[in-house]
Structure formats: C-alpha cells, structure tokens
Structure 1
Amino acid sequence: MKILVRPSSSSKGKCWQVCLDQLAVDFRNEQEARLFVSTLETRLQAPHVLPRQIPPLAS
C-alpha cells in the first residue's frame, strides 16, 4: 500500500490529506495526518492471527 501525506487541494477547511493508494482522507493539520499514518503503519506491521477454519456441523 502506498501511503502519502500531502497538503490538501480541497476547500473544505481541511488542510492535509493522507492518500492510501486511491483513497484520500482529510485532516485538519499535518500533525493529525502523520499521527494517523503512524498508527496505521503500527497496526499493519503488528502480528496477525488468522482464524482457523471450523468444519461444518454434522446434521
């Protein structure tokens, strides 16, 4: 996933964007945008346990 923090070009009162591939998320300031990216990267790098497949119940 490509993550980019950049100034926003919209006029909605939001000044910064985090772009996640094709998705753009607006933030009020650069600090909030970078905190979001930091949290996202931490969660993406965290170990994940895949659920085991449960066999169907016999009827």
Structure 2
Amino acid sequence: MKILIKEVARSQWQVCLDQHAVTFRSEAEARAFTRILEARLQAPHHFPDQQQRAAG
C-alpha cells in the first residue's frame, strides 16, 4: 500500500492510501494517523486454521 502525506490547502492535509484520501486539520494529525496505520499493517496477523472456519 502506498501512503502519501500532502498539504492540500492552508491548514488541511491529506493522507492518500493508494486511491483513497483521508483529510486532517494539521500535519501532526496526518502523521499520527500514518504512524498508527503503519504499525497496524506491520503487526502480526493470526488467521484461524481451516477447521475453525468450517466449525464457525
């Protein structure tokens, strides 16, 4: 996933995630969002095994 932070207007910043954009009131908010997003993307993900999915 490509993540880009850019200023789109005075006191308005966007975080672009591929083709999706999320707007923030400050660069600090945009960067904080990006840090959390990157941490979640890099976190280990556990998927249920085949038997658990069939039972659920």
What TM-score do you get using the length of structure 2 for normalisation? 0.83
Q: Distance in 1 between matches of 2:23 and 2:8?
A: 7
Q: Which amino acid counterpart does residue 43 of structure 2 have in structure 1?
A: A
Task: Structure 1 unaligned segments of length 5 or more: list them.
Answer: none
1:43 matched to 2:54? The reply is no
Q: What is the aligned residue count?
A: 53
Alpha-carbon RMSD: 1.8
Structure with greater strand share of residues: 2
Q: Which amino acid counterpart does residue 6 of structure 2 have in structure 1?
A: R
Q: Distance in 2 between matches of 1:5 and 1:30?
A: 8
CA 14–26 in structure 1, closer or farther in 2 if over 3 Å, else same: farther
What TM-score do you get using the length of structure 1 for normalisation? 0.79
1:1-59 equivalences in 2 (<5 Å)? 1-9=1-9, 15-53=12-50, 54=52, 55=54
Q: Name the larger-Rg structure.
A: 1
Task: Structure 2 unaligned segments of length 5 or more: list them.
Answer: none
